[in-house]
Amino acid sequence: MPLRLDPLRRHALARSLFAATTLPAALRRLGFVQADPLRAPAKAQDLTLRHRVRDYRAGDLERRYPALPIEEDFFVNYGFVPREAQNLLHPRQARHVWDEARWQQAREVQAFVREHGVVHPREVDAHFDHGRVGNWFGGQSRASTDLLDGMHHRGLLRVARREGGTRLYAVREEPPASAAVDPLVTLDALADLLLQTYAPLPEPSLLQLLSLLMAGGVPQWRHLRAATLERARARWPGAELDGLRWYWPDGEDPARSRRHDPERVCLLAPFDPLVWDRRRFEIFWGWPYRFEAYLPPAQRQRGHYALPLLWRDQVIGWANLKVLAGRLQVELGFVKARPDDRAFDVALDEELDRMQRFLGLS
């Protein structure tokens, strides 16, 4: 049977918006949760998890992080990955090479962190006084903070927990080394995790994700991108639709998917797995979504932090939410027109009520 768009879209919704479960189970199902520091009205990782975790509240991931088998790290973007997946990313050879003086600083800081167990960046700065460096947005930041970030990226440190949003670090202990590490086998496992998170994927999006993985997740193996893509093509099931090859994990059948709660409105995070792939988003729903938080206000078409509004199996608009004086303020926009449908009104009210509980509002 030829691949058709409607079943493919329903399959994307069914496999990603699974029935709400526990936080550990949801993290295993998702595979990767992208993080973002903006709160509008909550962080992106919390907005992603609230649809998939029973009774989830904003900040639960950060509060429970020390007891969860996950790590903060760079995968295709910065976020949360299973610990076993993080082990596949290291030892990471960062693209920015450190000289011997920088490595000596890193060894001294690593010894300090090992001695103290878990440290705040200000403790490292107070002890070593590394000075200040220029940052990417033209200002100045503590050199110790920059060093800790580089050590974390290289796998010398791990994020133990956060305090007021600031990362606290511990030494990352190396897992037992395997007898022989085959880079392509490792990349196959990482590519499978990409597919688990974002399937079904059109091939151009798969190539984009592999490029991001090679750029920041495993830059030491970026020369193996083409080989990884070829192995993925051979291993994964898929089909053609309108000139694009689509892929999904083995054992799945897009023609048989059924979403567990199709009459529900969902306000999706800008980095939700259903939204992240802008190419696929436009194919599925017929309009381009753009994340506009970092654009000047005059250039925004849909708002600072527009959350795509999913109704049944269509994304029909967006919402900008903020909390003022303890009350949720809602601005809605629609691609065409607001549905003239009592069922939609009820489902939207229910979603906004869920949002208020998630945010801890009365």
Residue 284 forms part of a structural domain: no
The answer as to whether 148 is a domain residue is yes
**126 assigned to some structural domain:** yes
* 259 within 8 A of 13, measured Cβ to Cβ: yes
Q: What's the CA gap between 219 and 231, in Å, rounded?
A: 19
Contacts of residue 48, defined as CB under 8 A and 6 or more positions apart, other chains included, come to 30, 33, 34, 269, 271, 272, 273
Does residue 132 sit within a domain? yes
Read off the pLDDT of residues 340-358 as tens digits, 9 standing for 90 and up.
Answer: 999 999 999 999 999 999 9
- For CA atoms 39, 40, 42, 48, the dihedral sign is negative
CA dihedral for 171, 172, 176, 179, sign (positive or negative): negative
pLDDT at position 362 = 72
Into how many domains does the chain fold? 1
In a domain, 251, yes or no: no
In a domain, 130, yes or no: yes
Q: If you search the block for the tokens 């990362």, which residue do you land on?
A: 167
* Residue whose tokens read 């403790």: 123
Residue 338: pLDDT over 50? yes
Torsions phi, psi of 344, nearest 5?
Answer: -65, -45
Dist CA 188 CA 167 (whole Å): 30
Give the pLDDT score at 137: 46
Query: What does DSSP assign to residue 75?
Result: S
Tell whether 34 is covered by a domain.
Answer: no
Q: Residue 199: CB partners within 8 Å, gap ≥ 6?
A: 12, 15, 247, 248, 249, 252
Mean pLDDT of the chain: 93
CATH of the domain at 119: 1.10.10
Report the pLDDT averaged over residues 186-200: 97
Q: What is the pLDDT of residues 235-290, one digit of tens each?
A: 999 999 999 999 999 999 999 888 888 899 999 999 999 999 999 999 999 999 99
pTM (two decimals): 0.93
Residue 146 lies inside a defined structural domain of this protein: yes
Please enumerate in sequence order all residues whose Cβ is within 8 A of that of 79, keeping only pairs 6 or more positions apart, or say none. 32, 33, 34, 35, 45, 72, 73
What is the mean pLDDT of the segment spanning 225-234? 96
By residue range, what is the domain housing residue 145? 100-171
